[in-house]
DNA sequence: CGTTTATCTGAACGTACGTTCAAAAAGTAA
DNA sequence: TTACTTTTTGAACGTACGTTCAGATAAACG
C-alpha cells in the first residue's frame, strides 16, 4: 500500500496538529512519540514529515498558532473607561482560555522543550499580550481610578490568577463560567481599586 | 570495579533525589533518563535502584516529600485576627515556594506522569493545603472582615496568583522578595475586603 | 584478621525512539 | 488512456531507554 483513498494535505495537516495538541497536552511533549501522533491521525509515522520538518517544530507551531490566535482575538478600546476595559479583559481572558485548554496547557508547560530561539519567539508573543493588560492598568492609574503601585507586578498577578481558572473549572459543575467570571472580576476590580 | 570508596546509603540517597529534582525540573520527567540522573550523582544507572524501585516512584517521592514539607511548615493560629492570618499565609506561601522552585515546578507540572493512585495521594495533600487558606477566608467572612461570595473560588484564585510569583521573580531584580510580598499582600487584602 | 553486609559496576535484555527514503498508490489534468 | 504530481506506506537506520543481575569491592563487625 501507499497513498490512501481520500488523502489530502488540506485534511491531514490540521488533523496532525489536532492530534499532536491533544496528545502533548495529555502526556507531555517528550512522552508522546511520533508514532502515537500518527496512530491518532490514522497514518504511519513517516507521513507526518510531510507536515513538519521535525517533532520540535510541530510543538513550536502549535504554540505559535495559539499565541497568534490569542493576540488576534484580544481587543482593547482605549476610548472606553479603564474599569470597563479591565472588565472586558478579564471576561475575554477567561473565555478564550477556557475554550482551548489543551493549547493553553501546552503553551505554559512545554516551553522548556523549545529551542532557545523558538522559546524567545513565544516569549515575545506572550510579552505582547501582557503589555495589553499593563496598558489598561497604567491608563487607569493615570486616570486616578486604579491604585496600583507596580503595574508590571499587578499584570502578572492578574494573569496568573485568571489563567488558574483552567486548572479547576469544568462545565457542568457548581457554577457556570459566567458566574465564575463575575467573581473573578469582582476580585480583580477590588485588587486594583 | 564495584562499590566505590566512601559510598554510603545516607549520602547517596539524598543526592539521588537532589539530582532527580534538578533534572526533572529542567527537562521534564519523561525527557530525563535514569542514566542522566546517575551521571549527575556520579554513579552508574544500576545503582539508582538501591534507592527507588522505579522511575515513577522516584518522581512520586519527590512530590510527596514536597507536599509534606509544605503542610508541615504551614502554620495558622486561629486565635489571631483573620486579616493577620491571611497576611501570614501570603508571606509564608511566597517565601516557601520561592525557596524551592524546582520542587514547586515538579509538583505542579508532572502530575500527569503519576499513576492514578499516586496522583490521588498528591491531590489529597494539595487539597489539605488549600483547606488551610479557605478556613482563614471563611473565618474572616464569618467575622465580617472579609467580603467573599465564594471562599472556594477565592482560595484557588489567591493560590494561583501567589504561586505565579515563582514564574517570574528572580533575586537581584528590580524588587526584593519582601517588596513583592508586600505588593501581593496589598492586592490580596483588597480583593477580599 | 576474617567474615559478613552494604553498595556499586558493567554488561546485557528487549523495546521504543526520531527520522529517512525508495517504492507504490491515488489524485489531477490532458 | 497516459503522464505527472501528491501523498502514504513499510522497512530500515542508529541510538537510547528502563530495568535486571552476577560479580566485585568497600565498609562494618566480631
pLDDT tier, B9 (very low <50, low <70, confident <90, very high otherwise): confident
Report the distance from CA of residue B111 to the C1' of nucleotide D27 in Å, as an integer. 39
The answer to whether strand D lies under 7 Å from the CB of residue A45 is yes
For residues B121 and B67, the answer to whether their CB atoms sit within 8 Å is no
CB of A79 nearer than 7 A to strand D: no
Separation between Cα atoms, residue B51 and residue B65, nearest integer Å: 15
Name the residues in B46-85 having a C-beta closer than 7 Å to nucleic acid strand D. Answer: 46, 49, 53-56
**Distance between CA atoms of residues B121 and A47, nearest Å:** 41
Question: How far is residue B83's CA from residue B137's CA, in Å, rounded to a whole number?
Answer: 9
Q: What is the pLDDT of residue B17?
A: 98
Residues of chain B with C-beta less than 8 angstroms from the C-beta of A109: 109
Q: What is the mean pLDDT of chain A?
A: 96
Reported as a single tens digit per residue, the pLDDT across B114-172 is: 999 999 999 999 999 999 999 999 999 999 999 999 999 999 999 999 999 999 999 99
Q: What's the mean pLDDT in B36-41? A: 98
Q: How confident is the model at residue A9 (pLDDT cuts 50, 70, 90)?
A: confident
Q: Does A28 touch chain B (CB under 8 A)?
A: yes
Q: CATH class for domain A58-192? A: mainly alpha
Please indicate whether, in this complex, the C-beta atoms of A113 and B31 are within 8 angstroms of each other. yes
pTM listed for this prediction:
0.94
For A106, nearest residue in chain B (alpha carbons): B109
In CATH terms, A9-52 corresponds, of 1.10.8, 1.10.287, 1.10.10, 2.30.30, to 1.10.10
For every residue of chain B, DSSP letters joined together read: --SPTT--HHHHHHHHHHHHHHHHHHH-TTT--HHHHHHHHTS-GGGGGGT-SSHHHHHHHHHHHHHHHHHHH----TTS-HHHHHHHHHHHHHHHHHH-HHHHHHHHHSGGGS-HHHHHHHHHHHHHHHHHHHHHHHHHHHTTS---S-HHHHHHHHHHHHHTHHHH--TTSSS-HHHHHHHHHHHHHHHH-
Q: How confident is the model at residue B5 (pLDDT cuts 50, 70, 90)?
A: confident
CB contacts < 8 A, A to B, total: 88
In the predicted model, what is the mean pLDDT of residues B102-111? 96
Bases of strand C lying below 7 A from some protein CB: 6-12, 16-27
Half-sphere exposure of A42 (CA within 13 A, CB side): 12
- Asked if pLDDT for residue B27 goes beyond 90, the answer is yes
Give pLDDT tens digits for A23-67: 999 999 999 999 999 999 999 999 999 999 999 999 999 999 999
- By CA distance, what is B185's nearest residue in A? A191
Q: What's the CA–C1' distance between A7 and D1, in Å?
A: 23
Whether residue B1 has pLDDT greater than 70: no
Distance CA(B1)–CA(B184), nearest Å, equals 56
- What's the confidence (pLDDT) of residue A1? 54
Establish if B79 touches chain A: CB-CB under 8 angstroms: no
Does residue B5 belong to the interface with chain A, where contact is any CB pair within 8 Å?
no
Residue ranges of domains in chain A: 9-52, 58-192
Q: Answer whether B112 sits within 8 Å of A160, measured CB to CB.
A: no
Nearest neighbour of A161 by CB, restricted to B29, B30, B161: B161
How far: A84 CA to C18 C1' (Å)? 50
Per-residue pLDDT reduced to its tens digit, A134-164? 999 999 999 999 999 999 999 999 999 999 9
Amino acid at each position: 500500500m501507499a497513498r490512501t483513498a481520500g488523502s489530502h494535505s488540506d485534511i491531514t495537516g490540521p488533523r496532525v496538529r489536532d492530534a499532536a495538541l491533544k496528545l502533548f497536552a495529555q502526556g507531555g511533549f517528550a512522552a508522546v512519540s511520533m508514532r502515537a501522533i500518527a496512530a491518532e491521525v490514522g497514518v504511519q509515522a513517516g507521513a507526518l514529515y510531510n507536515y513538519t520538518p521535525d517533532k520540535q517544530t510541530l510543538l513550536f507551531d502549535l504554540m505559535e498558532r495559539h499565541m497568534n490566535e490569542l493576540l488576534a482575538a484580544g481587543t482593547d478600546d482605549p476610548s472606553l473607561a479603564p474599569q470597563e476595559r479591565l472588565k472586558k479583559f478579564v471576561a475575554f481572558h477567561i473565555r478564550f482560555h477556557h475554550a482551548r485548554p489543551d493549547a493553553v496547557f501546552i503553551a505554559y508547560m512545554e516551553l522548556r522543550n523549545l529551542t532557545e530561539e523558538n522559546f524567545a519567539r513565544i516569549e515575545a508573543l506572550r510579552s505582547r499580550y501582557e503589555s495589553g493588560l499593563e496598558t489598561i492598568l497604567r491608563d487607569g492609574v493615570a486616570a486616578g481610578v486604579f491604585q496600583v503601585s507596580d503595574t508590571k507586578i499587578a499584570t502578572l498577578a492578574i494573569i496568573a490568577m485568571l489563567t488558574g481558572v483552567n486548572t479547576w473549572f469544568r462545565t457542568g459543575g457548581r457554577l457556570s463560567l459566567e458566574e465564575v467570571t463575575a467573581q473573578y472580576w469582582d476580585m480583580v476590580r477590588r485588587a486594583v481599586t
